[in-house]
């Protein structure tokens, strides 16, 4: 292992009573929970963009991040150093996966051709490190939203040339992700949306996006790359109306363009859910009940701020309800928990990168423990089953079987006289969840 983060040791599990900030209190990677190790349940991934390339800029100021190993301003050299730093970082934390955009790992250069050359230099280095460390690629993607050419969109741009460039980038990103053995390939429609209908042909833009994603699936087939494709819903940001607003909207889109039959699923991000006015659990459950939960971008927002703050997830209530959905989904299969999260601008030391990941990993480990116990004891499950018991016998069961129409409903209601309801007991259930969090 390199020694670029010299002041940080390999992080180990020391248990809940440890006062060592460079240790896990909850995440014990090889501990079995329900016959599976914690690391198999959680499948943590590092986001290359936030952890390796972000500098801490915001609209009001320049970067603040101190990365002592970044001693050169030559972009390609910098990319090489970052490969070493990334793998040392993941090894020290025991993170077994990473996610990347094409432009995170290699500089874009002066044009597309240079970008490809740079990628061809860096990808073999990453591959070598993967072999050396057994760290795997959870997903790859192309950044088709940052460059000025995508100002009006990528696959939904009114300018065909922009769409063509996006196609070239996605083609290469698919090849790279295949080369690195990526289990999934992500599409986050950064600029796929619009600001005003006064200048927008929404129908054509959506059709073009559908065509584009089908072309990507065609090309993957052609090169015998079979990842799970993941659409990452997000509302509002950066465009006012994002086409992949939330899970339900994205699923409607996938079905319309036949992509649900081409192994497209969803990558649900916590902060995107809350921006859409949903809870994280709502988005996970919506995906799960439709068989579309593919992977997770693990972070959290700030209820007092109205944008995608991408903070490290520390809220145990939310990590618990997230893991509850993941367990009910039978796990994440080819997906994982990717820390699409950034340290605050004021947390500018390399140590902060570790402390932030430890915080997130421990919060999810705790969530897993609590969620597993909740499900094992069936406290919520039994309550919910009982709440819907009227659909398991008699005319309710016949309704579920599709045997009952409005005439039968009418006859039944007239005979019944009135409806007797029972309490939903929300406060009691919230207390039960709290009790499980305190106890486990």
The catalytic residue positions are 101, 104
Binding-residue total with Ni ion (CB under 5 A): 4
Answer yes or no whether residue 297 interacts with Ni ion by CB under 5 A.
yes
Residue 26 vs 141, nearer CB to ligand XLS: 141
DSSP-based three-state secondary structure for 278: coil
All residues at 6 or more sequence positions from 262 whose CB lies less than 8 Å from its CB, including other chains: 214, 217, 229
Which does residue 175 bind out of ligand XLS, Ni ion, none, counting CB within 5 to 8 angstroms by kind? Answer: none
Residue 308 interacts with Ni ion (CB under 5 A): yes or no: yes
Of 102, 269, 283, 325, the one binding Ni ion by CB under 5 A: 269
Please identify, using beta-carbon distances, which residue of 96 and 269 lies nearer to ligand XLS.
269
CA–CA dist 300, 341 (Å, integer): 8
* Binds 141: which of ligand XLS, Ni ion, none (CB < 5-8 Å by kind): ligand XLS
Encoded one letter per residue, x for contact with Ni ion by CB under 5 A and - for no contact, window 328-347 reads ------------x-------
Residue among 76, 260, 220, 228 at smallest CA distance from 138: 228
Provide the binding-site residues for ligand XLS, judged by CB under 6 A: 101, 141, 186, 188, 232, 234, 269, 297, 308, 340
Stretch in the footprint of Ni ion (CB under 5 A) among 11-19, 167-175, 277-285, 290-298: 290-298
Comparison of 91 and 102: residue with beta carbon closer to ligand XLS: 102
Q: Cβ neighbours of residue 218 under 8 Å, at least 6 residues apart? A: none
CB of 280 to ligand XLS, least distance (A): 13
By a kind-dependent CB cut-off of 5 to 8 A, residue 325 interacts, out of ligand XLS, Ni ion, none, with none
> Please, where are the H alpha helices in 59-100?
75-93
Measured distance CA(252)–CA(270) in Å, rounded: 20
Told to check if 244 binds Ni ion by CB under 5 A, we report: no
DSSP secondary structure letters along 188-241: --TT-EES-GGG--HHHHHHHHHHHHHHHHHHHHHTT--PEEEE----SSSSSE
Min separation Cβ 105 and ligand XLS, Å: 13
Which residue has 């083609």 as its token pair?
171
Residue with tokens 């969530």: 367
Report the nearest approach of ligand XLS to the CB of residue 406 (Å): 45
Cα separation, 264 vs 1, whole angstroms: 37
Q: Which residues bind Ni ion (CB under 5 A)?
A: 269, 297, 308, 340
């Amino acid at each position: 292992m390199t020694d670029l983060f010299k002041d940080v040791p390999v992080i180990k599990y020391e248990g809940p009573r440890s006062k060592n900030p460079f240790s896990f209190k909850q995440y014990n990677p090889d501990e079995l929970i329900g016959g599976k190790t914690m690391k198999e349940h959680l499948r943590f991934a590092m986001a290359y963009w936030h952890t390796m390339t972000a500098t801490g800029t915001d609209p009001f100021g320049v970067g603040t991040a101190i990365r002592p190993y970044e001693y050169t301003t030559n972009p390609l050299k910098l990319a090489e150093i970052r490969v070493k730093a990334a793998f040392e970082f993941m090894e020290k934390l025991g993170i077994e996966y990473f996610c990347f955009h094409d432009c995170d790992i290699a500089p874009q250069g002066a044009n597309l051709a240079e970008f490809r050359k740079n990628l061809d230099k860096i990808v073999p280095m990453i591959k070598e490190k993967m072999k050396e460390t057994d760290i795997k690629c959870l997903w790859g993607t192309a950044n088709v939203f940052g460059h000025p050419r995508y100002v009006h969109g990528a696959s939904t741009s009114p300018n065909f040339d922009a769409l063509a460039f996006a196609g070239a980038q996605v083609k290469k990103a698919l090849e790279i992700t295949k080369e690195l053995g990526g289990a999934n390939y992500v599409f986050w429609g950064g600029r796929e949306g619009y600001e005003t209908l006064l200048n927008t042909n929404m129908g054509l833009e959506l059709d073009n996006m559908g065509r584009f994603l089908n072309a990507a699936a065609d090309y993957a087939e052609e090169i015998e790359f079979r990842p799970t494709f993941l659409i990452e819903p997000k509302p509002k940001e950066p465009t006012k109306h994002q086409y992949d607003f939330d899970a339900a909207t994205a699923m409607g889109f996938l079905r319309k363009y036949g992509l649900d039959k081409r192994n497209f699923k969803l990558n649900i991000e916590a902060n995107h859910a809350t921006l859409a006015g949903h809870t994280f659990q709502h988005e996970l459950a919506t995906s799960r009940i439709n068989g579309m939960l593919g992977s997770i971008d693990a972070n959290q927002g700030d209820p007092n701020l109205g944008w995608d703050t991408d903070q490290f997830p520390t809220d145990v209530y939310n990590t618990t309800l997230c893991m509850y959905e993941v367990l009910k989904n039978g796990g994440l299969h080819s997906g994982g928990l990717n820390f699409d999260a950034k340290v605050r601008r004021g947390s500018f030391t390399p140590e902060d990168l570790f402390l932030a990941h430890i915080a997130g990993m421990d919060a999810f480990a705790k969530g897993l423990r609590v969620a597993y116990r909740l499900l094992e004891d069936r406290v919520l499950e039994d309550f919910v089953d009982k709440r819907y018991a009227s659909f398991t016998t008699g005319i309710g069961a016949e309704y579920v079987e599709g045997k009952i129409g409005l005439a039968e409903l009418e006859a039944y209601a007239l005979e019944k006289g009135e409806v007797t309801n029972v309490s939903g007991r929300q406060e009691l259930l919230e207390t039960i969840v709290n009790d499980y969090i305190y106890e486990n």
